[in-house]
Amino acid sequence: MGNVSIYDTYTRSEIELDPARQKNITIYSCGVTVYDLSHIGHARVFIIFDILRRVLKKNGFNVIYAQNFTDMDDKIINRAANEGVDYTQISKKYIDEYFTDSDLLNISRADMYPRATDHIYEMVKIIKRLLETGYAYKTSDGIYFSVDKFPGYGRLSGIKKEELLAGARIDVNEDKKNPLDFALWKFHEDRPFFDTEIGHGRPGWHIECSAMIWKNLGDTITIHGGGEDLIFPHHENEIAQSEAFTGKPLSKIWMHIGLVKTGEEKMSKSLRNVFYIRDFLNAYGPNVLRVLMVQAHYRSQITANEDRILKAIEIWKIIEEAMFNLGKPFSLNGTEQSAVDEVMKELRLADNALGHDLDTPESLTHLLAAARAINRMQASLKLSPPVVQSMNLFNEITSCFGFKLPEISRDEAETAKRLVTERATLRSGRKYAEADQIRKKLLEMKIKLIDVGDKTYWRKVEVL
């Protein structure tokens, strides 16, 4: 229980959330456009929001979390055209793929997954009102939002309208009143289109989020976020259209996640440096990815290269070991109060850091110290069930991080059990060469053996 502070891009300051004053928290994060598999840059956003929710809940908040799917977009339509299928087949396929990745990553399910195409009615309603109130206007090819009508435009990104124009990579459209004006609706007679009161067409890029938030979470939410590349223009535009519509602030806190690079530069398809979640999981595992993401603060940019991944693996091994040790203490009656005190001290620091703008690197440092102390206790057989129980905070914190021990299938468990027994017999008969063969075989199944006296413990590991 306690306060949680989060850095707000809009005010450039940390905002304190107090469960005693505001128990209910609504969160919306910009999800993916479903035309391809998700990469580890997306994964960082999923993971950070997952941790955010877990931390808030642990501190006594009620959280309602929504993450959208952009299921209609030119990229989806183009891909569908290339493959000769309907666009809904593409969006459905990649929504399924999203859930596969999300579950493999141990991301808790959101409370809702709104889809753009289910909110056409709300979009039209908002656009109609914006037309009536003069915030929007029609041209030959669509309906645009007039940024000059909205005084706060540019506040989130900290960019002045005049300066934005100087940067000038904005498409020229002579019908627009201001080059920064953005489309709310684009007229289309070619399929797919929606037949609505404001004409045949498709929604603009930004309006869907405004509509989905308004319908599902209300006028003002607590936290809105996504990757930092969404600050401008996406979030800036959302603020303009939503606030012009409701007259109220869209979100209390704007939270932005730093970009992930694979080499020197940002991941992008054109540079061919995209690292898919699926590939990462096959090569390493979900916990290694979490460690990688959590090692740096969520607002900084990170590089996911071989070297960093190898280091993340080493850190994960220590935590994995401690999680296993707590789950299955070797000793029945060990105890050492000073060691327990040390673990608890570190855990409280780890807990504390999470509430301070999700300071995961700081928290991880203390979690690691606790994990090592636990492993030390195990090694000296000072880890009995009551001692383990007294250190339950460890489980609470690893759970906030979303760490989860690798699961073992029933078949694998059966095989392991059988082979370990076999090996024990061989060992007692001093047939070490054969016993070692068995150990090697199990290792190939990612099952490690630990001999403690004449007893052998075994467990599934994420990486060797």
For the bound state, the minimum distance from the C-beta of residue 390 to RNA, rounded and expressed in Å, comes to 20
User: Could you count the other beta carbons within 10 Å of the beta carbon of residue 201?
Assistant: 20
Q: Which of 83, 148, 265, 396 binds RNA (CB under 7 A)?
A: 265
**174-213 footprint of RNA as x/- string (CB under 7 A):** -------------------------------x--------
CA angle 235, 236, 242 (to 5 degrees): 80
Tell me which residue of 203, 248, 252, 259 sits closest to 226, measured CA to CA.
Answer: 259
For the bound state, the minimum distance from the C-beta of residue 276 to RNA, rounded and expressed in Å, comes to 12
Of the two residues 61 and 142, which places its CB atom closer to RNA in the complex? 142
For the bound state, the minimum distance from the C-beta of residue 40 to RNA, rounded and expressed in Å, comes to 8
For the bound state, the minimum distance from the C-beta of residue 20 to RNA, rounded and expressed in Å, comes to 26
Q: Provide the b/e sequence for 85-120 (b: ≥16 CB within 10 Å).
A: eebeebbebbbebbeebbebbbbeebeebbbbbebb
* Contact call for residue 445 and RNA (CB under 7 A): no
* Contact call for residue 303 and RNA (CB under 7 A): yes
* Contact call for residue 125 and RNA (CB under 7 A): no
For the packed helices 207-217 and 236-246, what is the interaxial angle rounded to 10 degrees?
50
Considering only residues 4 through 43, tell me which ones interact with RNA, judged by CB under 7 A: 12, 30-33, 39, 41-42
Rounded to whole angstroms, the Cα distance separating 341 from 347 reads 10
Torsion of CA 211, 233, 93, 260, to 10 degrees: -130
Of the two residues 380 and 390, which places its CB atom closer to RNA in the complex? 380
For the bound state, the minimum distance from the C-beta of residue 282 to RNA, rounded and expressed in Å, comes to 20
Selected range binding RNA among 135-143, 276-284, 299-307, 407-415, rule: CB under 7 A: 299-307
Q: Which of 133, 173, 301, 333 binds RNA (CB under 7 A)?
A: 301
Considering only residues 226 through 255, tell me which ones interact with RNA, judged by CB under 7 A: 226-234
Q: Which of 54, 224, 427, 460 binds RNA (CB under 7 A)?
A: 427
**378-417 footprint of RNA as x/- string (CB under 7 A):** xx--------------------------------------
Q: Determine contact, residues 405/327, Cβ cutoff 8 Å.
A: yes
Considering only residues 87 through 106, tell me which ones interact with RNA, judged by CB under 7 A: none
